[in-house]
Amino acid sequence: MINVSFGPNIFLGIIVSIGVLILYFLRNVKPEVARDEDIFFATIGFLYSCILMVHGWRLDPILLFSQVLIIITVLVAGWENIRLRGLIANMAKVKNKKKS
């Protein structure tokens, strides 16, 4: 049974989809920061967001709260990971500049 109605599950699914699209298009914006496994995680995240949007109406309040906490944790950890990748890329660029 597929029952799609607008609720907090759609909002969470859209947030995850936006985060996944940012991760996916990072390869076009900053290729020195992107990694090959980002495509895998983007695909899994997109699948997760679709499942959350379609079947999220079944979530009772405590399960919805747990999904909110998981999504916040994953997005913050992903943001920090990408930021650290950028710092490492900048450090490597400065090191190569000093070397030559």
Per-residue pLDDT reduced to its tens digit, 32-41: 888 989 999 9
Indicate whether 98 pLDDT > 90.
no
User: Which of 73, 77, 13 is CA-nearest to residue 48?
Assistant: 13
Q: What is the DSSP letter of 59?
A: -
* Predicted pLDDT at 88: 93
0.75 exceeded by pTM: yes
pLDDT computed for residue 7 by the predictor: 86
21-41 burial: b if 16+ Cβ within 10 Å, else e = eebbebeeeeeebbeeebeee
- Distance (Å, whole) CA 26 – CA 44: 16
Q: pLDDT digits over 17-58, tens only? A: 999 999 999 999 998 888 989 999 999 999 999 999 988 888
Count CA within 13 A, CB hemisphere, residue 50: 6
3-state helix/strand/coil string of 18-53: HHHHHHHHHHHHCCCCCCCHHHHHHHHHHHHHHHHH
